[in-house]
Every structure is written in C-alpha cells, then in structure tokens.
Amino acid sequence: MSSTMLSRRAFLGSAAATGAFVLGTRLVPVSVFSQDALAQGPWEPGVYLAILPDGLVRIIAHRSEMGTGIRTSLPLVVADELDADWARVTLVQALGDKKYGSQNTDGSCSIRDFYEPMRVAGATARTMLEQAAAKTWNVPVAEVAARNHAVVHGASGRSLGFGDLVATARTLPVPAAASLQFKKAEAYRYVGTPMPSVDLEAIVKGQAVYGADVERPGMLLASIVRPPVLGSTLTSLDDGAARKVAGVTDVVKLAEATAPFGFKPLGGVAVLGTSTWATLQGRKALNAQWSASPNASFDSATFRKTLVDVVHTPGRVVRTQGNVDATIGVGPTHEATYYTPMLAHAPMEPPMAVAEVTGGKAEIWTCTQNPQAVQDTVAQALGITPEDVTCHVTLLGGGFGRKSKPDYAAEAALLARQVGKPVKVVWTREDDLQFDFFHAPSAQYLKAAIGPDGLPTAWLQRTAFPPIGSTFDEKEQYGGGQVNMGFTDLPYPIANLRVENNPAPAHVRIGWLRSVAHIHHAFAVQSFTDELAALAKADRVEYLLRIIGQPRVIDLAAEGAKGVRANPQHPFDTARLRRVIELVAEKSDWAKKPAAPGRALGIAAHYSFFSYIAAVVEVEVNARGQVKIPRVDVAVDAGTIVSPDRVASQFEGAAVFGTSIALLSEITAREGRIDQTNFANYILARQDNAPKETHVHVVKSTAPPAGVGEPGVPVIMPAIANAIFAATGKRLRDLPMRKVPMNG
Amino acid sequence: MSQTSSATTSTIALVVNGEARTFEGDPQTPLLWVLRDTLKLTGTKYSCGIGLCGACTVHMDGRPIRSCATAVSLVAGKKITTIEGLAPAGAEHPLQTAWKAHQVPQCGYCQSGQIMQAAALLATRPNATEAQIESYMDGILCRCGTYQRIRAAIKDAQAAGRQG
Ligand code: FES
Ligand code: FES
C-alpha cells in the first residue's frame, strides 16, 4: 500500500437503490503519510477517478466497449458532474476487479445501473475541490463554484485549476453522499450532446486494439479442434502430419468438459505454432476421432416439431387471471403457432484471448464483456484464486452476449500453462458458429376469443425453448426469468388470460443473445396482435392502441403473474408505450401510406429492458419474392439519455440485427453437429438487404435511464412480418422468413 | 521481383504502405496473416478467412482485395496499401474525415475493411450513385449495422472531393 489505503464504506444509498451492486470501496487519504509524498501522486477520491497534480483527470472506464460507446458515455457523466474539461481527461480501461461493482456489460444496464454512481463520483470530487478552494481563500464554500476544470470565486475573480487544488482536496474528508449537490440537467455540457467516442480516431486509422490484436513477447498462436457434438470425447488422435507442418510447435490435448458446461472450456485438441497460418494448417492435418454423445440425437428439424407439439399441450402456468377455459370457446376464436430457430451471435471479431501463466498467477488480455467472469473461469480452470488472475480488457469487435461467456479465456490459460509461454487462442469463424452459446430455438402457441368489438375477451399463450439455465444445470427445461421477457408481462388488460411455459431440453450450449427471449416473444405476441387487427379489419395502429387500453401502470402480481418482482425505479407504464406508438405512427406518415400490393408498412411495439419501443417498417416485395426495406422508423422512450448519437446508432444497428433475424439467419443441427460453417450459410444482412434508412425518434424524458443496446431488436421481426402480410397477404410465422416463398 | 523458393519456404518481397518488406515462409500464406503476424499491421482484420466478409480488405496496386483469400506469393512485387497507410502519416484520408463526422463506427472491427473498400470506389468512381455505392460496398459485412452511415460518409467524401 502506497499513499492511499482502502477503506470500506457504503458508497452511496442511491447507488444501491439503482441496483449497482457493491460499490463500497473508496480510496481515501491517510493523514499519516507526509504531505510531500502525497502531493506527488494522483488524488483518488473514489474508485472511478483520479486527479493528478498537473490537473489531468483520469477516469476509469469499467465497462466493456463493444460498440455502444459506453467507454465514453459513463466517463462523460463523471466529467460533467465534476465540471472537467473533456480535453484534459484521459480514460483508463479498468482491469477486472470487484471494487468497481459489476463489470458485466450485458443486459443493457450500464447507464441504468451506473449513471447515478458516476454522478456521485463526479460530484464528490467537485465538492471536495470546491471545499479546498474555499479553504485556500478562506471564503464560504457557497461563494465558490467549479467551472471548466477550475474553481472560481465569483466575488473576487480568483480562480484555481483542479491540479492546484489537489494537495488541499486530498486532506479533506469525503463528503457524505446525501450532502452532495448535483448539477441541474440544463447545466450539463456533455450529457445529452452527441459527443464522439474516444476510440473513433483510432478506429478509422486502424490503430484500435481488439482482443485479436494483442501480442506478447514469445507468444504462440493456437487453434483448437473441439468435440463436434456437445459431450463427445476424443477416442483417437493422429497428430503426426500436424506436427510436421512448418511453424507448428506443439499439439496439446485439453480435457473435454462435462455437464453442466457453464463457461468451462470445451476441451479438444489444440495446435500451437509461431504463426496463425501454421496453426490453421496444422489443425487441418489432425486426424481426431470422437465418441458418441447423447446429444448426437439432436436434429433441429425434428426438434422444431417437438417444440411445436409441446406448446399444443398444457404447460406450467406462470400467469392466470379470470377463467380462460370457460371463455375461450365462446364465440369466434383465432389461434396461431410461431417458430424461431437457433441463432448465433457472430460478432465480426470471433472470440480471442491471450494468456500468460507464471508461478501460479495468470494474466489475460481479451475481448470480454465480463472481466470478473474471466477471473473466475480462468481461476477455476487453473485451480488458482480469482485474485491471482489479472484480466486486461481490450476493445471488442462486437459482443452481443457471446463475449460475456469466457470459455475462450480459460482455453488460452490452460494452453499457456502447458507450454510455459504466452498463448493466443484464435477462434476461426467456423469455431465461432459451431461452438457458440446459441440463442434457443423456440415455439409459441397463441389463442384468443374475440369479442364483438374485435378485441380479445380471452387469451391463452404458451412458450417453449431450451432455457439458458440448462447450460448451468442440464436438467433445467423451463424458462424461468426468460419467460418474463416479453411474455408473462403481456400489457393487454384482458379479463381472462393465461400464460404458460412448456418444457424443452437443450442439446447445445444455450446462451443469451442481444435481447434474449424478447426476440421470440415479441415476434409471436406482436404478430398475433396484428393478426387479430387484420381479422377485425382495423387500422393496425388504432388496434394496437385499443388493445393496450387506457394508460395504466401494470401491477403484474395483481394481474396473476407468479414470481415477477416489480422494479420500483421502473414501473411498467402503458402511457409511455402508447406514446411511442403514436410518435412512430406520426413520424412514419402511417396514416398517409396505406398498404398497396407489394409495398406496405408494418408496426410493432414492445417493452424490454425498461424501455418503450415502437417501430414502423416499410417493406417492398417484388415479383420474385425478394424483400427490400426502404425505411424504418423507431420511437424510443429509454428515460434519461446520456449520449443521443450513440443511442441513435444502437437503434440503427438493432434494425439491421433484427432484419438478419427476421429474414436471413438460422443455425441448424444434424446428429448433434451444427450445419453452419461461415457467412455463406449463416447469413447476415448486408448493404442490399439491410434497411436503407432508419430514423430514430427519441422521447425527451427525465425518467431514470433504461436500456438502449438491446430494446431496438425485438420490434423489428414482427414489424417486418406484419408489413409483409399487409403487402402480400402472406402471414409468415416461421423465422427466418427467406425460407418461405413470398410470391407463391 | 525476387522470389526464391525451397520446398515449403519462399522469400517474397513486397511493398507495403510504400516500404519494401520481405516475407519468408510458406508462399501459400494468406497476405492477411503476413500483414498481421509478420509485419504487425493489425489494422487489417480477420473475420471469415474465406473472402466472404471484407474485414481484411486492402489495396493491391490500388484495387481492393480480400487479403485472407490472397496468397502472399500472388502479391510479390505489388504495392500493398493497408488502413495504416491509406493517408500519409499525420494526415487523414477524406473518408476518414467523413467517417468521424458521421460517427460511423460502432464496435469498429469491420471499419478498416469498409474504409479501404470505399477508398477504392472513391478513387475509381468518384461520382458513384447511391445504388453503385450500395452494390460496391455489399461485400463488406458489418454485424453492428452501420451501413446507412457508411453510405452517408461516402457521399460526404464524394462532395468534398468535388469541391477540393
Ligand atoms: S476475413 Fe477476409 S473476407 Fe472475411
Ligand atoms: S462496426 Fe462493428 S462490425 Fe461494423
């Protein structure tokens, strides 16, 4: 311990209230050290920032940057509260360390959970700098104020830079959180403005460093042949030819993982060498044979039928009100079944990790969404403690949930220990698509009794999908919290309503993909709603507003939902859902663009990650059945917005991501092996089939910040399906839609 | 250009970003890995390895090529330009300026390939139409979905070129 010591105290009540977990560690000055020694070093009034005696402000970016701009946005909040000059701020990417609270950059929660703690960090330091200036000038603290990297005394015109105040500030007690004064929203200089990402310059110059780009002295490259079916094991290996490839240095067997698979490395045979090309050539020359596994029975086409069949049988009830059985047979009814396939994350940068292991300690450099999980997973693989694992976080060439699962970091660590040298594990695109933690395949069955006004009087819906829980407990077949993602929380006030979940076993590793179960649930619910609107011959926007009904705050527990906990920070308010629907209808010129053969608009609205989203998608379907998307409008209410341009870019990107899911992408399996190998058969939207223009309309709000990275995706698939129906009369209930001829 | 060969190893001379470089090794090695592993020019990215995504796009004598699908032996003596050499040191290419103005990148991983492909378009067809831009750029995948900003930035750079 040098000039500071660790002191545990509650960081702040409000931090805990926003769900930011433990932020309890603060660095506070210790008076036993001499003032001279202290004056030299950076002053650290909290874990997220330091101010150097030369005035430079150093802010910790503790979340992972995968394209959302979070590495810029959260530090901007600190800088704004501090009244720092952004030009005199440097960012330091945090190592994995529990002292920062959760670093798992996942679940669209970075701003949601850390907006308050960042404001507190900035306000704490600013308050102490102001107190230091007041003390220096011997004036009341109320007479001074921080202004652009200095504290000024208005009455006398005196001013001292932040750096000049560090020596005094560090001797002051850290103010109680409750005593802090925050800036008014109007006073923000950075929050709410389109500030560019700190990585922009490096990216356009090709200088940005991703996991793939890390190099250590004496490093070997490694490529791994993994068990082709989950649970199969190596039965024979001939590596003679592989070892003869120039540049190949080692062939290493890694023990196969057993269930539950969790984040464990899968095992297999690694080929190591002095260049990537050598390891890839060596790998091709391996002759490895694998045992059978119970998962070899997995055939995705057969499994589709299993899912569809099971949702036509009673499931586990997760929400019930009124009496569906007594009412759903009365009068006209409508029913439909939906299916969505397995999906892969396919970030443009596949998983990559570099490891060095020496003397019982591991050092990792990797593109990870979750450096603390890297510490845990590597520690477990090596039999050391998480504190003995240092995790450096690089930029991520996309994540989408894949890179919060650090199996690849553990592979690198095991190999580095084995060969006694730094090792970079390179996942090929083929590896990435075949050994993903897949988005689950799913089926939904929906049935409604329709009243004289066209609105449902009774509603039954069921969903089945192998749950994420199966990756951690192979016996798990029910969706748990994933059922609540856009399904249990159906926002329609229907007197007789039942929501059920049917079981589904997993045969591959199931994981969370951007928007998770909202992907399939929004597709089913918003498609079905459109089907009911069509039956009622109603305008789709009007029908959507009618079925949502009068504005209300939904109390799911009172409406028969089991095990759903309300979040007091984020009540589900249908007034906000209605507002985004009205806004998107207006901005898309909905009323002036009636459907015509081959060209139509479609709408969908969905609530996820506490954000309210509505989208209108315009499609054109030509005589050959090809779909083009000239325009997407998205209305967004995500509460308080920190970085409006990055918010817009997330929704633009989500429209493309959703288009891939709707029209193009599918993972299939036969005999337990994944069929897709590369972008030729795992198809993603490109310039020609992505939406031409996406217009993002953000509702101004001072509500607590909600999610942005994920909520843009779920609306896109149903909005496209609904538009295609309006343009062609074809109702597409299976994804991806390219598999069904639209002109037939 | 000199090209000496043994059974599996050749010495290949190339010009990368204006500098003479040599590579010794398997002549079948894709240029991508020579750039990244040997020359430490990591701005050029790997994503598919078989010519399907464009992340690895560089210029060979001014033409865009997929470096993952181009054996280093095929570029012996050719002028290779990577993202690091697109603009002279300390300067920036008009596309890089436009890219920043539109804040095109999200994760950024595909963007070297996008910019290199776009630079070849700008050089050869400075007045490409929207539809031409779209089809010329179609080979470069962006999983983050930055396509509309890419086209907007290219159009800006076209306009800047006409003025300049
Ligand atoms: S890496 Fe070369 S085209 Fe994909
Ligand atoms: S910016 Fe992330 S892949 Fe294009």
My answer on whether B69 and B46 are in the same domain is: yes
Residues of A in contact with B86 (CB under 8 A): 206
Residues of A in contact with B114 (CB under 8 A): none
Residues 6 or more apart whose Cβ sits within 8 Å of residue B157: B94, B95, B97, B98, B118, B122
Q: What is the C-alpha separation between A71 and A50, in angstroms, rounded?
A: 17
Question: Which protein residues touch ligand 2 with a CB less than 6 Å away?
Answer: A 67, 348, 398; B 105-111, 142-144, 146
Whose CA is closest to A598, among A723, A741, A465, A487?
A723
My answer on whether B103 and B44 are in the same domain is: no
**In the prediction, which pLDDT does A16 show?**
30
Whose CA is closest to A708, among A514, A430, A566, A529?
A514
The CATH number covering residue B150 comes to 1.10.150.120
- Name the CA dihedral angle for B114, B120, B123, B125, rounded to a multiple of 10 degrees: -90
Among B47, B65, B112, name the best residue to mutate to test ligand 1's pocket (greatest count of ligand atoms within 8 A of Cβ).
Answer: B47
Q: Is A91 helix (H, G, I), strand (E, B) or coil?
A: strand
The CATH number covering residue B43 comes to 3.10.20.30
Q: How many angstroms does the Cα of residue B111 sit away from the middle of ligand 2? A: 6
Residue B54 has pLDDT above 60, yes or no: yes
Burial class (CB in 10 A: 0-12, 13-18, 19+), B39: buried
**In the prediction, which pLDDT does A627 show?**
96
Distances (CA, A) of A363 to A103, A358, A386, A417: 18, 9, 11, 11
Residue with structure tokens 């896109």? A716
Residue with structure tokens 């590896």? A431
Residues of B in contact with A429 (CB under 8 A): 47-50, 53
**In the prediction, which pLDDT does A17 show?**
30
Amino acid at A452: P
Q: What is the pLDDT of residues A256-291, one digit of tens each?
A: 999 999 999 999 999 999 999 999 999 999 999 999
CB B26 within 8 A of CB A246: yes
> Among all residues of chain B, which has the CA nearest to that of A276?
B33
Residue A1 has pLDDT above 50, yes or no: no
My answer on whether B47 and B80 are in the same domain is: yes
C-alpha count within 13 angstroms, C-beta hemisphere, residue A160: 21
CA distance B57 to chain A (A): 12
Where is the domain boundary, B61, B85, B109? B85
Q: What is the C-alpha separation between A437 and A432, in angstroms, rounded?
A: 9
Residue B51 beta carbon below 6 angstroms from any ligand 1 atom:
yes
What count of residues does chain A have?
A: 744
**Beta-bridge partner residues of A694:** A632
My answer on whether B78 and B98 are in the same domain is: no
Burial class (CB in 10 A: 0-12, 13-18, 19+), A420: exposed
Distances (CA, A) of A11 to A99, A105, A117, A465: 11, 21, 8, 40
> Among all residues of chain A, which has the CA nearest to that of B52?
A679
Q: Which of B29, B48, B95 to mutate to test the interface with A (most CBs of A within 10 A)?
A: B48
Task: Indicate which ligand has the atom closest to the C-alpha of A67.
Answer: 2
**Pairing state of beta strands B79-81 and B10-16?**
parallel
Q: How many CB atoms lie within 10 A of CB A553?
A: 11
Helices (H), A33-151: 35-40, 70-82, 110-137
Distances (CA, A) of A661 to A344, A514, A613, B148: 10, 11, 18, 19
> Among all residues of chain A, which has the CA nearest to that of B28?
A277
Q: Which two structure tokens, joined as six digits, stand for A62?
A: 């503790």
Q: Which residue has the higher pLDDT, A611 or A19?
A: A611
* Nearest CB to A649 within list B9, B49, B103: B103
**In the prediction, which pLDDT does A191 show?**
87
Domain assignment present for B5: no
Residues of B in contact with A679 (CB under 8 A): 48, 52-53, 141
Q: Which CATH class is domain A217-292+345-434?
A: alpha beta
Task: Indicate which ligand has the atom closest to the C-alpha of A397.
Answer: 2
Residue A145 has pLDDT above 90, yes or no: yes
CA distance A275 to chain B (A): 6
CA distance B1 to chain A (A): 24
Residue B47 beta carbon below 6 angstroms from any ligand 1 atom:
yes
Helix A110-137 and helix A162-169: axis angle, to 10°?
80
Residues of B in contact with A208 (CB under 8 A): 108
Cis peptide before A736 (omega within 30 of 0): yes
> Among all residues of chain B, which has the CA nearest to that of A247?
B25
Q: What is the C-alpha separation between A630 and A621, in angstroms, rounded?
A: 11
Among B103, B111, B147, name the best residue to mutate to test ligand 2's pocket (greatest count of ligand atoms within 8 A of Cβ).
Answer: B111
Q: Which fold has domain A567-744?
A: Aldehyde Oxidoreductase; domain 4 (3.30.365)
Q: Which two structure tokens, joined as six digits, stand for A422?
A: 């730094």
My answer on whether B77 and B120 are in the same domain is: no
Q: What is the distance, to the nearest Å, from the Cα of residue A433 to the centroid of all Cα atoms in its chain? A: 19
Q: Which two structure tokens, joined as six digits, stand for A151?
A: 């504290």
Helix B147-163 and helix B94-101: axis angle, to 10°?
130
CA distance A506 to chain B (A): 27
Domain assignment present for B147: yes
Give the CATH number of domain A8-204. Answer: 3.30.365.10
Q: Is A596 helix (H, G, I), strand (E, B) or coil?
A: strand
Question: How large is the average pLDDT for residues A37-66?
Answer: 85
Q: How many angstroms does the Cα of residue B48 sit away from the middle of ligand 1? A: 5
Where is the domain boundary, B67, B85, B103? B85
Amino acid at A411: E
Which domain covers residue B132, as residue numbers? Answer: 94-163
Residue B160 beta carbon below 6 angstroms from any ligand 1 atom:
no
Where is the domain boundary, B85, B104, B121? B85
pLDDT band (50, 70, 90) for residue A23: very low
The closest residue, in CA terms, to atom 4 on ligand 2 is B142
Pairs of residues, one from chain A and one from chain B, whose beta carbons lie less than 8 Å apart = 184
- For chain B, percent of residues with pLDDT exceeding 90: 91
Angle value at C-alpha A342, between A611 and A681, nearest 5 degrees: 115
Phi/psi for A477 (5° steps) reads -125, -5
Q: Which atom of ligand 1 is nearest to the CA of B56?
A: 2
pLDDT band (50, 70, 90) for residue A163: very high
Q: What is the C-alpha separation between A122 and A616, in angstroms, rounded?
A: 39
Task: Indicate which ligand has the atom closest to the C-alpha of A197.
Answer: 2
SS in 3 state form for B38-77? HCCCCCCCCCCCCCCCCCCEEEECCEEEEHHHCEHHHHCC
Q: How many angstroms does the Cα of residue B32 sit away from the middle of ligand 1? A: 9
Q: Which two structure tokens, joined as six digits, stand for A308?
A: 């569809």
Residues of A in contact with B144 (CB under 8 A): 67, 348, 398, 653, 656
Q: Which atom of ligand 1 is nearest to the CA of B141?
A: 4
Residue A167 has pLDDT above 60, yes or no: yes
Question: How large is the average pLDDT for residues A631-637?
Answer: 98
My answer on whether B138 and B73 are in the same domain is: no
CA distance B52 to chain A (A): 6
Q: Which of B34, B53, B99, B106 to mutate to test the interface with A (most CBs of A within 10 A)?
A: B106
**In the prediction, which pLDDT does A743 show?**
60
Q: How many angstroms does the Cα of residue B115 sit away from the middle of ligand 1? A: 14
pLDDT band (50, 70, 90) for residue A301: very high
Q: Which two structure tokens, joined as six digits, stand for A591?
A: 């009323």
My answer on whether B81 and B98 are in the same domain is: no
Q: Is A254 helix (H, G, I), strand (E, B) or coil?
A: strand
User: How would you classify residue A69: left for phi > 0, otherwise alpha for psi between -120 and 50, otherwise beta?
Assistant: left
**In the prediction, which pLDDT does B88 show?**
94
Residues 6 or more apart whose Cβ sits within 8 Å of residue A589: none
Question: Given an 8 Å threshold on Cβ–Cβ distance, is B149 in contact with A649?
Answer: yes
Q: What is the pLDDT of residues A573-585, one digit of tens each?
A: 999 999 999 999 9
pLDDT band (50, 70, 90) for residue A229: very high
Distances (CA, A) of B5 to A217, A700, B8: 29, 67, 7
Can you tell me the ipTM of this complex? 0.96
CB A695 within 8 A of CB A705: no
Q: How many angstroms does the Cα of residue A528 sit away from the middle of ligand 1? A: 40
Task: Calculate the average pLDDT of chain A.
Answer: 92
Question: Given an 8 Å threshold on Cβ–Cβ distance, is B33 in contact with A200?
Answer: no
Q: Which of A70, A73, A193, A203 to mutate to test the interface with B (most CBs of B within 10 A)?
A: A203
Task: Indicate which ligand has the atom closest to the C-alpha of A690.
Answer: 2
Distances (CA, A) of A722 to A482, A539, A601: 24, 12, 8
**In the prediction, which pLDDT does A29 show?**
35
Question: Given an 8 Å threshold on Cβ–Cβ distance, is B42 in contact with A212?
Answer: yes
The closest residue, in CA terms, to atom 3 on ligand 1 is B51
Q: What is the C-alpha separation between B81 and B65, in angstroms, rounded?
A: 10
**In the prediction, which pLDDT does A39 show?**
55
Question: Given an 8 Å threshold on Cβ–Cβ distance, is B135 in contact with A687?
Answer: yes
Angle value at C-alpha A646, between A642 and A647, nearest 5 degrees: 70
Q: What is the C-alpha separation between A97 and A95, in angstroms, rounded?
A: 6
Residue B2 has pLDDT above 50, yes or no: no
**In the prediction, which pLDDT does A642 show?**
84
Q: Which atom of ligand 2 is nearest to the CA of A398?
A: 2
Question: How large is the average pLDDT for residues B133-138?
Answer: 98
Give the CATH number of domain A301-344+439-503. Answer: 3.30.365.10
CB A683 within 8 A of CB A489: no
Q: What is the C-alpha separation between A267 and A257, in angstroms, rounded?
A: 6
Question: Given an 8 Å threshold on Cβ–Cβ distance, is A653 in contact with B144?
Answer: yes
Phi/psi for B152 (5° steps) reads -65, -40
Question: Given an 8 Å threshold on Cβ–Cβ distance, is B53 in contact with A685?
Answer: no
Residue A15 has pLDDT above 70, yes or no: no
**Beta-bridge partner residues of A5:** A28
Q: What is the C-alpha separation between A146 and A127, in angstroms, rounded?
A: 8
Q: How many angstroms does the Cα of residue B36 sit away from the middle of ligand 2? A: 19
**In the prediction, which pLDDT does B1 show?**
37
Question: Given an 8 Å threshold on Cβ–Cβ distance, is B147 in contact with A655?
Answer: no
Q: Which two structure tokens, joined as six digits, stand for A355?
A: 């490891």
CB A64 within 8 A of CB A396: yes
Angle value at C-alpha A577, between A571 and A583, nearest 5 degrees: 140
**In the prediction, which pLDDT does A744 show?**
52
Q: Which of A221, A348, A657 to mutate to test the interface with B (most CBs of B within 10 A)?
A: A348
Residue B3 has pLDDT above 70, yes or no: no
Distances (CA, A) of B117 to A154, B42, B87: 55, 17, 14
Q: What is the C-alpha separation between A204 and A92, in angstroms, rounded?
A: 20
What residue spans in chain A does CATH classification 3.30.365.10 cover?
A: 8-204, 217-292+345-434, 301-344+439-503, 567-744
Look at chain B and report how many structural domains it folds into: 2
pLDDT band (50, 70, 90) for residue B164: low
The DSSP symbol for A53 reads: T
* Biggest alpha carbon–alpha carbon distance for chain A: 86
* Nearest CB to A687 within list B46, B50, B138: B138
* Nearest CB to A348 within list B8, B103, B141: B141
Domain assignment present for B3: no
Q: What is the C-alpha separation between A28 and A54, in angstroms, rounded?
A: 20
The DSSP symbol for A110 reads: H
Q: What is the pLDDT of residues A320-339, one digit of tens each?
A: 999 999 999 888 999 999 99
